[in-house]
A and B are shown apart, each in its own frame.
Chain A
């Protein structure tokens, strides 16, 4: 089975722009979670989707949003980019919720100039 794929792998944007990141989960997985990884804050939970519904949301401003499609693929969007949004954004998929193991993708490296 193919693993979790994320596109693009690298992005460079300027302040004020918006960006959309994409995540394709492992085939058969219905849950997708997103995490932000920065040197200062470490790994922080952004949101979790299951069957196209947001099940959980982390403590991030409304500029961060996401969605999940019927094929379980997920996108996250960040509007009005700030320098502090520069980070590695990781997507993880699992079969269901709760104790199902989460498998992580390679991440999208976002740089905001």
Chain B
């Protein structure tokens, strides 16, 4: 079955520290992968996406993610976290070779930033 796992439900980091949010997927076909962020009371904003090519993807707000096929992972990273990064982060997978935009989301990771 297709699934996305975000092992960390909640993460707390200090402002200025580095961040890595984990995402593992299980998908039979060639996936395409996304990271979205959701602030309280808001919809989802796309941070970055991966379809093919360079496995290190740059996104908005200084985020990047690395696709590792051998580990079925797509971890999100940021070298220095800002207080405004506190939000919930969702990893999602779609079906690259199918004509549908349906996304399967992980359960999300809530990021808290300490001053």
Contact = CB atoms under 8 A, between A and B. Distances in A.
Interface of A: 4, 31, 33, 35, 42-45, 48, 55-56, 58, 90, 92, 94, 97-107
A45 B94 CA distance: 11
A98 B43 contact: no
Nearest to B6: A42
Interface string B34-57: 001000011111100101000000
Interface in B70-115: 90, 92, 94, 96, 98-108
Given A90-B44, A104-B36, A104-B44, A97 B100 contact: yes
Q: Which label, helix, strand, loop or mixed, suits the secondary structure of the A interface?
A: strand
B32 interface: yes
A103 B46 contact: yes
B49 A43 contact: no
B96 A99 contact: yes
Nearest to B106: A42
A101 B46 contact: yes
